[in-house]
């Protein structure tokens, strides 16, 4: 499976390397992460086709972004990626002059994108679970990292050097941004002990669509909002549910940005501004059941959406949440070695 995943990433990068025509923009994004009607309306209004290419991990996205031959026009990346690639000259700077919709976003959000993107959607990491298989909702990261015997071979984790470590590090009472070898080794021991219970290290949105894996996944590491996508994929509303463990978690923010390598920067900026407008920000939030960072878009949402704790995390949860920070090169390398070795051991079974 590890080999198949890497092959998929390579083919994706190759496919997006073909230059877009003057009337086409390449959007690099998670699967099922934008209201398709917004893109159709943009195309109808401008005559510009938007071609989506999906990634299913931050590492896969970063591999494509780092490739000088990949012709990405617009990308949805996390806040760390926006700052990192902005500082490297890969993502262009944005402000209210080239993206007028930025005026609708508070400084507390825009600063997290580092001036290189518009806040897109935000949320938390937690535990996704099938309510027909797990009748007592999990409450702790221990329910995932030290699972019940009934979950042997039924957990989907995540092949990503940052997010994969959230559960073990928070359970250990450590920072999700830990760089020291001692802490990472302790996290590895937890992850290694969990290995017999892990069915796959592919992102759950991807693996649930697999005929052999999907029906056997009962619990998964994922993002707030993923439960709605999972229920849509399996055509079973309410089957998958989401909880944030009591120990706390990661609070994440994604940013939508324009590549400096784009041959259509002006059109790409128009797309980012269109998606980020109050009206479309609200449409996107409602369709995806995810929280918007736009103050103007938030005002357009129905009260039942704004008060839904599965969409807008309660203050007490956010108070215990950590934000992502840039990791050292050594930490990234160590984390990637760890998650790669675990995925390979899992595949070997």
Q: Tell me the CA distances in angstroms from 347 to 2, 3, 7, 322, one per residue in order.
A: 7, 9, 15, 31
Which residues on adjacent β-strands are paired with residue 55?
30
Question: What's the pLDDT band for 104 if we cut at 50, 70, 90?
Answer: very high
pLDDT in tens, 155-198: 999 988 999 999 999 999 999 999 999 999 999 999 999 999 99
pLDDT in tens, 270-310: 999 999 999 999 999 999 999 999 999 999 999 999 988 88
List of domains in the chain: 2-122+251-312 (3.40.190.10), 123-250+323-348 (3.40.190.10)
The C-alpha torsion from 89 through 95 and 97 to 98, rounded to 10°, is 50
- Residues 91, 82 contacting (CB under 8 angstroms): yes
How big is the chain by its Cα radius of gyration, in Å?
19
Question: What's the pLDDT band for 6 if we cut at 50, 70, 90?
Answer: very low
- Residues 102, 111 contacting (CB under 8 angstroms): no
- Name the token pair of 308: 């839904």
Collapsing DSSP states into helix, strand and coil, what is residue 289? coil
Which residues on adjacent β-strands are paired with residue 244?
none
The torsion angles phi and psi of 257, rounded to 5 degrees, stand at -140, 165
C-beta atoms surrounding 31 within 10 Å: 16
pTM of the prediction?
0.87
Measured in whole angstroms, the distance separating CA 209 from the mean position of its chain's CA atoms is: 17
Q: Tell me the CA distances in angstroms from 304 to 198, 236, 280, 298, one per residue in order.
A: 36, 22, 19, 12
Measured in whole angstroms, the distance separating CA 259 from the mean position of its chain's CA atoms is: 19
Half-sphere exposure of 126 (CA within 13 A, CB side): 29
Residue range 124-144: mean pLDDT, rounded: 97
Q: E strand or H helix at 43, and its extent? A: helix 36-46
Q: E strand or H helix at 223, and its extent? A: strand 219-223
pLDDT at residue 310 in the model: 81
Helix axes 181-194, 329-348, angle to 10 degrees: 20
> For every residue of 137-159, which 3-state class applies, written as one string?
CCCCCHHHHCCCHHHCCCEECCC
- Name the token pair of 188: 């590895």
Residue indicated by tokens 């939508």: 256
Length of the chain measured in residues: 349
Average pLDDT of the chain to the nearest whole number: 91
| Lowest mean pLDDT across 5-19, 109-123, 334-348 | 5-19
Cα angle 97-77-124, degrees, rounded to a multiple of 5: 115
First CA to last CA across the chain, in angstroms?
Answer: 11
Closest CA to 271 of 104, 110, 153, 98: 98
């Amino acid at each position: 499976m590890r080999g198949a995943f890497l092959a998929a990433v390579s083919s994706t990068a190759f496919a997006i390397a073909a230059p877009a025509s003057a009337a086409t923009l390449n959007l690099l994004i998670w699967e099922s992460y934008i209201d398709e009607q917004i893109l159709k309306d943009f195309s109808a209004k401008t005559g510009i086709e938007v071609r989506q290419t999906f990634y299913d991990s931050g590492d896969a996205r970063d591999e494509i972004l780092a490739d000088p031959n990949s012709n990405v026009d617009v990308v949805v990346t996390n806040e760390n990626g926006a700052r990192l690639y902005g500082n490297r000259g890969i993502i262009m700077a944005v402000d209210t002059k080239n993206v007028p919709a930025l005026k609708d976003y508070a400084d507390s959000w825009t600063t997290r994108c580092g001036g290189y993107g518009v806040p897109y959607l935000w949320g938390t990491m937690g535990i996704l679970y099938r309510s027909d298989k797990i009748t007592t909702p999990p409450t702790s990261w221990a329910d995932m990292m030290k699972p019940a015997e009934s979950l042997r071979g039924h957990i989907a984790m995540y092949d990503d050097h940052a997010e994969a470590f959230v559960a073990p590090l928070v359970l250990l009472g450590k920072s999700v941004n830990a760089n020291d070898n001692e802490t990472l080794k302790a996290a590895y021991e937890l992850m290694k002990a969990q290995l017999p219970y892990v069915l796959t290290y592919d992102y759950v949105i991807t693996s649930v669509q697999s005929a052999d894996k999907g029906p056997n996944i009962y619990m998964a590491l994922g993002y707030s909002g993923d439960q709605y996508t999972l229920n849509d994929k399996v055509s079973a509303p309410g089957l998958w549910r989401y909880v944030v463990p009591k120990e706390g978690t990661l609070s994440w923010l994604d940013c939508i940005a324009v590549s400096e390598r784009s041959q259509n920067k002006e059109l790409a900026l128009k797309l980012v501004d269109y998606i980020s407008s109050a009206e479309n920000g609200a449409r996107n939030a409602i369709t995806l059941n995810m929280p918007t960072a736009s103050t103007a878009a938030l005002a357009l949402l129905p009260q039942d959406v704004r008060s839904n704790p599965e969409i807008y995390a309660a203050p007490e949860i956010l108070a215990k949440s950590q934000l992502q920070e840039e990791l050292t090169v050594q930490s990234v390398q160590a984390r990637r070695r760890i998650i790669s070795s675990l995925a390979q051991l899992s595949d070997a079974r």
